[in-house]
Amino acid sequence: MTDVPRNRLRRWKLAVAALAVLWTPMAQAHHSFGKFDMGKLVTLQGTVREWTWANPHTWLIVVVRKANGTVEQWSLVGSSPNMMSRWGWNAADIKPGDKLMIDIHPGRDGQTIGAMQTVFLANGKVLADPAGSTGQALAGGPGHLPTKPQGTPYK
């Protein structure tokens, strides 16, 4: 009789361990924008080094030349391709070598990272990132888009 409870306990432990292993990737994949200062808006001007249109988030790597001549590389996260497509984005809108201006929410810790808000392409097209939008705004796409950057110029 003592073998029955041991076997049940062993199976229970195995089930809990399996669930923990399966849960870990999901917990790591889902993250917030808490590392960005969503109350601060900065405008970067730079050249696209890399544009990644993939789930779970798009990524834009931009090379920015500061006023003092130094160069920085910024890593900017965007929403998922699915959400961005609903807001008028297309993977082909941005290519390496493109010059652009972009309003971002910078990282809270001073790193050269940010969350995209609005991208101003050289051809005049303006694209807004749906991150932080909710409800009807998220489903319906952006409302009025700005015609020029709204952030504090990055120097």
- Domain regions of the chain by residue span: 1-30, 42-153
Which of 35 and 73 is assigned the larger pLDDT? 73
Give the pLDDT confidence of 63-112 residue by residue, as tens digits. 999 999 999 999 999 999 998 998 999 999 999 999 999 999 999 999 99
- The CATH architecture assigned to 42-153 reads Beta Barrel (2.40)
User: What is the pTM assigned to this prediction?
Assistant: 0.76
Range 115-121, long-range pairs (CB < 8 A, 24+ positions) = 115/33, 115/36, 115/38, 115/76, 115/77, 115/78, 116/58, 116/60, 116/76, 116/77, 116/78, 117/41, 117/151, 118/145, 118/146, 118/149, 118/150, 119/60, 119/94, 120/148, 120/149, 121/93, 121/94
